[in-house]
Chains A and B, each alone.
Chain A
């Protein structure tokens, strides 16, 4: 299984990663070798086998729909790269 450089750039875009041409070359090689490694799954007969997502096969626990967290706005904003007026600041989205 191998993928071309265009595939790599498409995957990188979906993953929101900026790749240089040199990066794309390198990842084309390393992604292809991982995909070849996982290719051996395709020869296994899994007809009728249910996928296993949780090893204990637990179902999701539900909780009461009530507020349990206190408001710690300042503490959570403290790690943000840029804030203003108690809000996270991002580049302009709407012209």
Chain B
């Protein structure tokens, strides 16, 4: 039952083959049994889940609801959920009970989905391995010695292990796509502004974007339909009308023009990963697509540009954690300054403090032009590369990450090496375009994701491309051994 798609489960719920309460209990039991090995959840909201499931059953009984009604899902612990602990993976927020609901979780709740709990993540979404969580590292269900990727690693691991049907994630520099790749699931980072940021705890506001994570593109389409759309509470929300993400899933790919950026296949890419990506591209050719080499010449510059822009925005956003209105406060502060400094030093982990300091430095007097402004100029060059390429091709394909999941602890001593892992994902956030990670094979027993990038607001096209691939391959249907037999 835990391996079924949203469409199949929705049908079973409508046919009364199973009730949402039964389905929810099944997932809660799996979490209780398997999650001690993975640590993918920070909070399991059993009571809220069972109440929502009972309400969903009542709706279904009356012939009402949507395809998500009664489906048990999870939310990254970065979305504020009214009355349910929301930590953002940080000690700073280890007692924060939001007084309001994020737009994303509110819309998904209105569609009738059941919230099983809140998933683990790198603190304040800063990390690519999920080792930066105050609540402990998450393990990869395919190999418990490996990282699940980050920062939405809890969501990815939970889906891969069958501990949620689908989940929300957020992606500032790859945080949906890279864990999706490492855990063998499907994830979509939408166009900047497509999904509301209201109630998402901010990391880097000009890059942050929430999106769906699930086993398949079709499941992502169901979740995306509920998540997407204009929100007046988000000042950068896009007013562009939302497409029907399910309607075009079956459109044929004949004539699809795929661009392969040569910079995505250079030095540093694991040859086994490269082979898998090229085999996936061949599959698309069989489906009628044509392939041409393209160039994104400023790709390398996405790393320095991102690691100035994101920390700068973070240093500003995280200034709200001052020990006054919410969050951690140190004991016995001797004055206001002492309270700020010790509360923040005690509440934030070292990666978060480091990024705050990088950003503070980049924004400080005398350095603003050389760092922040320079990074924003390079950001335009990177965007122009994509605009030019997407005038010539419909979608761009490449790897999500240069390697498969790496070992827990193997990169913690050299954070810059970890930053370099983000080379294929950062530029997408800087440009603001949508992109997906689609399971495309295994190397050394670990999943490999194909990245599919598209033009602004082309989410329906990306989901169509991924769905067609998934109609002809079964990489997205593989289940890790630890998830079976429970």
Residues on A facing B (Cβ under 8 Å): 3, 8, 11-19, 23, 26-27, 30-31, 33-35, 37-42, 44, 46, 49-56, 58, 60-61, 63, 72, 75-76, 78-82, 88, 90-93
Contacts and interface: CB of A to CB of B under 8 A. Distances in A.
Given A30-B354, A41-B305, A41-B374, A55 B206 contact: yes
B314 to A, nearest CB: 11
Given A51-B377, A63-B232, A15 B357 contact: yes
Contacts of B357: 8, 11-12, 15, 17, 27, 31
Contact of B342 (A18, A26, A88): A18
B356 A15 contact: yes
Nearest to A92: B335
Contact of A52 (B337, B371, B377): B377
* Residue among A23, A50, A54, A60 with most chain B CB within 10 A: A54
A39 B326 contact: no
A38 B359 CA distance: 12
A34 B354 contact: yes
B428 to A, nearest CB: 10
B115 to A, nearest CB: 20
Nearest to B431: A55
Contact of A42 (B232, B323, B370): B370
A5 to B, nearest CB: 13
Interface string B314-351: 01000100111111110001111111111011001010
A18 B345 contact: yes
Contact of B353 (A27, A35, A72): A27
Contacts of A52: 376-377, 379-380, 383
A81 B326 CA distance: 6
A16 B344 contact: yes
Interface string B397-434: 00000000000000000011001000000000011110
Tell me the dominant secondary structure on chain A's binding face.
loop
Nearest to B414: A33
**Which bucket holds chain B's interface residue count?**
35 or more
B254 interface: no
Contacts of A82: 329
Interface in B433-480: 433, 456
A61 to B, nearest CB: 6
Given A17-B353, A53-B376, 10 more contacts: A12-B357, A18-B342, A37-B304, A38-B304, A50-B380, A56-B191, A56-B432, A61-B235, A79-B99, A81-B329
B176 to A, nearest CB: 17
B361 A91 contact: no
B97 interface: yes
A46 B377 contact: yes
A15 B360 contact: yes
Nearest to B232: A63
A75 B344 CA distance: 23
A60 B235 contact: yes
Contacts of B325: 76, 79-80, 88
Contacts of B192: 54-56
A55 B235 CA distance: 14
B419 A41 contact: no
A40 to B, nearest CB: 5
